[in-house]
Amino acid sequence: MPTESKVDVLVLGAGPAGLMCAQGLKRAGVNVRIIDKRPKKVAAGQADGVQPRTIEVLQSYGLAERLLREGNQMHMVAFYNPSPNGGIERTGRTADITAPSARYPFEVTLHQGAIEAIFLDSMRELGLEVDRPIIPTALELSHDENELRDPQSYPVKVTLKHLDFGSEGQDDTEIVYAKFVVGADGAHSWVRKTLGIIMDGEQTDYIWGVVDLIPSTNFPDIRNRCAIHSSNGSCMIIPREGDKVRLYIQLSDKDVVVDKATGRVDKEKTKVGPEELLEVARKSFSPFTIEKAGEIDWWTIYLIGQRVAQKFSVHERVFIAGDACHTHSPKAGQGMNASMNDTHNLIWKMTYVLRGWADISLLRTYEFERRKYAQDLIAFDKNHEAFLEAFQTFGAFSCGIGIHYSPSSIPSMPNITELKHQSLTSHQTVGMRILPHVFVRAADARPFEIQDLLPANTKWKLVVFVGDIGPGKIKQIERVAKLADDLGKSTGLLKRYEDGVFEILTICATVKECLNYTDLPEVLRPHWSRVLLDDVDMFGRTGGKGYDIYGVDPSQGAIIVVRPDGYVGTVTPLEGVKDLETYFDTFLIRTL
């Protein structure tokens, strides 16, 4: 008889989207299991670029330090075009990332296997391993409405097949009953096909070869991101960890054979291999030379598809994420980044529902927010149809910093983006990630990046800009005292929901010489480390002008509400506790 088990969340697929999901849920104390059909993790190749916003997200889980240590940083991009003398010449150099609010103003490149290893090692420390090699063979979802509405029920039945069970008498079949399933099983997703979810979009005519190698070359920009447009075709350079580089080489349809049934390149019939790709690149590089120094690390050929799934979940019980629900050209370098940010969006929502802290309707916001972003990415692709043009357009949107979640007006879905008081933070847009900035801790004058004080720990952060409450600021001190009373009363916001929902961080527009952290009411200083000053550090090297960065008037103040995934949900005035209660009542379950 097959073995049977129960789990809160079953994640199918251990690529970047699945690993992000599993590690985040495990950190949150969720009973999660993750399986993959591959007997071991990716060794080389695949996706390799991590955008500035994704680095911020990894940092919120404590995972960015290793990425920055092991990866290569791309700070500059160079452009080459046909020279009037034949061959190519450099026509410009510029910053790789142009978004002014980027905390990490560069991209990190590292092969996917090493990125996966960062997740795998952190999961191992938490006591979670990927079960492999295992494939799902059947998925059944209950049609009982009461069962589907009850977040503690197990309405999903998944049959698994263990590929390494070969000995006589061993049953290689297992049945898992899950509360939720996340299909992060790639562009040819079994979960998506089993659920009958259709992908909208098209295959483009662009065919690209990819080669990872250590080059021997006299090309002066080999360690910069490069866009090469030559009379012999187009080529891109992505410098990688160590001495490696990745070459993207544009091919013509006469070079490859496409399987009409699958829409994929038929590598058996296609005569182009890594040596032929390198030969095409050599022609684009002229008058410079490029050869391989040693073996080619990895290569592939693929057609670019631009598709988005018609829906990202079924009954908010089975979800798809990453390439399973959207595929893009690599022009904006967003495939893996969008995938990891999908499940980053889902982790906290699923955790709240499983804990009984939020209504199950909160999960509808996953598709609402992430499907729109996937559609925006494809629109970006189409608006920059020329590969090299998009490659050059690395502004806020394409580096992930410009992700903007909109308010919802759908009656069956809570609105977790509320714009009523947006004017109080003229430079911090509601629906976008909290801007990075360095503040000084009041207790000891130590400078801190605010994002590091807002980790992805499933808590909502109330970032309270109390204004200047220094000597003589009687009116502002009275307003702050009233806010503390409103927050702290027995029926107030902080007691209204489950303990552990909120964290408070208070930021004063008062210089360090004029304020003690103990001057604040206790509610606004739950710990000595939670009071910051908008002032420079002791040497004047960093910090200051934070109220200007967020567009907050120091005479007015504001409360910025930061979601567990680092995005701003709403803003209120210091007198706006009632607005906060109304906002949270739409999706959190009250205990009072």
Which candidate in 80, 104, 206, 248 is catalytic?
248
Examine the residue annotation and report whether 27 is marked as an active-site residue of this protein: no
204, 305 in Cβ contact below 8 A?
A: yes
Which single residue is written with the structure tokens 């562009």?
Answer: 187
Q: Within a 10 A sphere around the Cβ of 350, how many other Cβ atoms?
A: 29
Which candidate in 136, 151, 274, 330 is catalytic?
330
Q: Within a 10 A sphere around the Cβ of 275, how many other Cβ atoms?
A: 11
- List the helix and strand counts (H, then E) for the chain: 14, 30
Rounded to 10 deg, the angle between the 52-60 and 335-355 helix axes is: 30
Q: What confidence score (pLDDT) does residue 265 get?
A: 67
Tokens (6 digits) for 300: 């592939």
Q: Across the beta sheet with 72-74, what order do the strands follow?
A: 49-50, 107-109, 72-74
Instruction: Give me the amino acid identity at 57.
Output: V
Examine the residue annotation and report whether 206 is marked as an active-site residue of this protein: no
Q: What confidence score (pLDDT) does residue 204 get?
A: 67
Q: What confidence score (pLDDT) does residue 351 get?
A: 98
Q: What confidence score (pLDDT) does residue 398 get?
A: 78
Q: DSSP readout, 338-349?
A: HHHHHHHHHHHH
pLDDT tens per residue, range 298-324: 999 887 778 999 999 999 999 999 999
From first CA to last CA, the distance across the chain in angstroms is 48
142, 43 in Cβ contact below 8 A?
A: no
Sheet strands (E) in 391-485: 438-441, 447-449, 460-467
Which candidate in 8, 16, 27, 48 is catalytic?
48
Examine the residue annotation and report whether 240 is marked as an active-site residue of this protein: yes
Examine the residue annotation and report whether 364 is marked as an active-site residue of this protein: no
117, 125 in Cβ contact below 8 A?
A: no
Which residues have a Cβ under 8 Å from the Cβ of 546 and sit 6 or more positions away? 437, 438, 439, 450, 507, 534
Which residues have a Cβ under 8 Å from the Cβ of 414 and sit 6 or more positions away? 359, 361, 362, 364, 365, 408, 586, 587
Which candidate in 33, 103, 225, 240 is catalytic?
240
Instruction: Give me the amino acid identity at 502.
Output: F
pLDDT tens per residue, range 143-153: 999 999 999 99
Distance CA 337, CA 89 (A): 32
Q: What confidence score (pLDDT) does residue 80 get?
A: 96
Residues of the chain with pLDDT under 70: 45, 166-169, 204-205, 255-269, 330-333, 384-395
pLDDT tens per residue, range 123-139: 999 999 999 999 999 99
pLDDT tens per residue, range 344-389: 999 999 999 999 999 999 999 999 999 999 998 888 777 755 555 5
